[in-house]
Amino acid sequence: MSLDFDRPPADPVTLARAWFKDAEGTGLPNPNAMTVATIDPDGRPSARIVLLRGFDERGAVFFTNRESRKGVALEAHPRAALLFHWDPLDRQIRIEGRVTHASDEESDGYFAARARESQINAWASSQSRPVEDRATMIALQRAMTERFAGREVPRPPHWGGYRVSLDRLEFWQGDRHRFHDRVIYLHDERGGWITQRLCP
Ligand SMILES: Cc1cc2nc3c(=O)[nH]c(=O)nc-3n(C[C@H](O)[C@H](O)[C@H](O)COP(=O)(O)O)c2cc1C
C-alpha cells in the first residue's frame, strides 16, 4: 500500500498492518523480524533482532526469555524502541513505547503453538548466559527431553511475551535521491493521533 505522506491515514495501526502485509509479499524469509533496542541496568543501550508475534492498538508483542540480557534490561527500564527495515520496499517503521508483560494466557497460547523441540530448548537454554561448549548445551537439551518425555512441555516461568505500547510510530519511505518521506504518529490529549511530516 503506497502512502500519501501529505495526507496520512488517521489510524497508524491499520497502516502498519498494511505495511506488514506488503513485507510478507516480498518473499523475505523473516518479514516480521525487528530490532529491539533496550537500556541495560547500567544505562547502556543494547539491541538485537526478534520476531514480531502480535500487533494491535495495545502494542507490538514478541516472546523471549525474561532472564536474558534483554529481559534483565526490560525489567530495569521497561521502555523499548523497535525497528523494522524492508530493503526490497525501501521502507522502515520505528516504534517506541513502554513495555509490559503479555498475559500468562497469551504467553501460554504462543508457547503451546511452538514446535516441541523449541519448547524443550526454551528450558535447556539459559539465554544470554555463558556456556562451556556445545556439548554442554546438548547435554542440557537431552536432560530436558528426558524430563518432559511422554508429556506436554509447560511454558518455563521465565519465558513469555513483552508488549511495547505504541507511544510513537514513524513510517519511512526511501527516495532514490535521499529525499525520503517520513511521518510520525503521536498521541493527542484525547487519545487520538496527531501526525507530523519530518524532513528526511
Ligand atoms: C531472525 C531472528 C529472529 C530472532 N527471533 C528471536 C525471538 O523472537 N526471541 C528471542 O528471544 N530471540 C530471537 N532471536 C535471537 C536474538 O537476536 C538474540 O540473540 C537473543 O534473544 C539473545 O539476546 P539478548 O542476549 O540481548 O537477550 C532472533 C534472531 C534472529 C536473527
pLDDT score at 1: 74
Catalytic residue (choose from 178, 182, 190, 197): 178
Check if 50 has its Cβ closer than 6 Å to any atom of ligand 1: yes
Which of 124-128, 133-137, 189-193 shows the lowest per-residue confidence on average (mean pLDDT)? 189-193
The minimum-distance atom of ligand 1 relative to the CA of 68 is 27
| Residue 91 annotated as catalytic | no
pLDDT at 2 over 90: no
CB count within 10 Å of CB 152 equals: 8
The minimum-distance atom of ligand 1 relative to the CA of 33 is 1
Q: Tell me the C-alpha distance between 116 and 153, whole Å.
A: 7
Phi/psi of residue 177, each to 5°? Answer: -105, 30
Q: Tell me the C-alpha distance between 73 and 19, whole Å.
A: 29
pTM above 0.85, yes or no: yes
> For residues 112 and 146, is the Cβ–Cβ distance under 8 A?
no
Check if 69 has its Cβ closer than 6 Å to any atom of ligand 1: yes
The minimum-distance atom of ligand 1 relative to the CA of 51 is 8
DSSP per residue, 78-118: -EEEEEEEEGGGTEEEEEEEEEEEPPHHHHHHHHHHS-HHH
Cα(81) to ligand 1 centroid in Å equals 15
Domains annotated for the chain, with CATH where assigned, are: 12-112+157-198 (2.30.110.10)
pLDDT score at 47: 98
pLDDT score at 199: 98
Protein residue closest via CA to atom 10 of ligand 1: 64
Cα(95) to ligand 1 centroid in Å equals 18
Check if 72 has its Cβ closer than 6 Å to any atom of ligand 1: no
**What pLDDT, in 10s, does the model give residues 68-111?**
999 999 999 999 999 999 999 999 999 999 999 999 999 999 99
3-state secondary structure 10-31: CCHHHHHHHHHHHHHCCCCCCC
**What pLDDT, in 10s, does the model give residues 13-71?**
999 999 999 999 999 999 999 999 999 999 999 999 999 999 999 999 999 999 999 99
**What pLDDT, in 10s, does the model give residues 3-23?**
999 999 999 999 999 999 999
pLDDT score at 191: 87
Check if 35 has its Cβ closer than 6 Å to any atom of ligand 1: no
**What pLDDT, in 10s, does the model give residues 172-193?**
999 999 999 999 999 999 989 9
Check if 103 has its Cβ closer than 6 Å to any atom of ligand 1: no
